[in-house]
Amino acid sequence: MTAPLSVSVLYEPAARPHADLAGATAVVIDAIRATTTIVAALAAGCRECLPYRTDAEVKAEAKRRPAGSVVMAGERLGLRIKGLDFNNSPSVMTPANVGGRTLLLTTTNGTQAILDAMKAETVFIAAMPNRRAVARRVAALGRRVVFLAAGTVGTVSCEDTLVAGAVIDALLEEPAGKAFRLEDSARIAQAAWWGGRDRLDEIFRQTWGGAYILNLGLDADLAACHRLDTTDVVPVVRGTPPVITAPQ
């Protein structure tokens, strides 16, 4: 039986179609790299981010927008999609590149998870850089929480698990967090965080996703993905089609 203020984690994409998100707060995580990229973009002054399943959708939307008002970014298998401005790279989400503009984003795992989360009452975007800020917002809402880990090509992702555990641990430290009750899936994530929080750089480099993007020469991206509590930006996803903003 699910407690009213339960906290759970969906580790694999296959679990999402069957998840009960009605009335819940959903927290989407794709630590390497989509949710870190979104947090970085909004922290750099990006006006909004629109997530898409395909690059064709990104390019079509860009054509509908005024020239110079959008930035297109995305990847497949870690590489920038031909015709887009940038890779799915948090390290390039600077004020010069995205400030005041709309980011149109498609990724292998992360944007798919965001779109799958839209049945929830509220959808937040989480990464290591904003994990404590997300925990505060989740605690303030006082609703059942479901973490949606994007995973890596359909499988469990170590880095997403660590971010979920980091947010959960911070949530329980909030005064309002005392009312939340962890399901077993959340306890697993918290235990992973306890075991790895003092060696995030090492672990992120050893994960499948981390090792893969290091092999592509994207060291700066990986470094951005495990920096802890560097921003108070909490992206919120709303609307149909979904739009991601960072309301104050």
pLDDT per position as a tens digit, 35-83:
999 999 999 999 999 999 999 999 999 999 999 999 999 999 999 999 9
Rounded distance between C-alpha atoms, residue 137 and residue 15, angstroms: 25
Q: What percent of the chain has pLDDT over 90?
A: 96
pLDDT attached to residue 156: 96
Contact partners, residue 189, CB within 8 Å, separation at least 6:
9, 147, 161, 162, 164, 165, 168
Using the predicted structure, report yes or no on whether residue 242 has a pLDDT greater than 50: yes
Average pLDDT along the chain: 96
Residues paired with residue 124 on neighbouring β-strands, in sequence order: 27, 236
Residue 85 located in a structural domain: yes
Residue 128, domain member (yes or no): yes
- Position 20 pLDDT exceeds 70: yes
Contact 107, 73 (CB under 8 A): no
Mean pLDDT, residues 86-98: 98
Answer whether residue 199 is part of any domain: yes
Q: What's the token pair of residue 48?
A: 């909004």
- Name the domain count of the chain: 1
Is residue 178 assigned to a domain? yes
- Residue 1 has what pLDDT? 42
Does any domain span residue 16?
A: yes
Sequence-ordered strand ranges (E) for 82-170:
102-106, 122-126, 145-149
Q: Does position 214 have pLDDT exceeding 90, yes or no?
A: yes
Question: Which single residue is written with the structure tokens 């995580």?
Answer: 29
pLDDT in tens, 193-203: 999 999 999 99
User: Is 27 a residue whose pLDDT tops 50?
Assistant: yes
Is residue 1 a part of any domain in this protein? no
Beta bridge partners of 79: 76
| Within-domain flag for 237 | yes
| CATH code of the domain covering residue 208 | 3.90.1560.10
Pairing of strands 25-29, 122-126: parallel
Residue 84 has pLDDT above 60, yes or no: yes
- State which residues form the domain around 239: 6-245
Assess if residue 77 is contained within a domain.
yes
How far from the centroid of its chain's Cα atoms is residue 172's Cα? 20
Closest to 166 in 3D by CA, of 135, 139, 203? 135
Residue 92 has pLDDT above 70, yes or no: yes
Cα separation of 161 and 196, whole Å? Answer: 11
pLDDT at 241: 94
| pLDDT confidence of residue 3 | 55
Q: Is the pLDDT of residue 2 over 70?
A: no
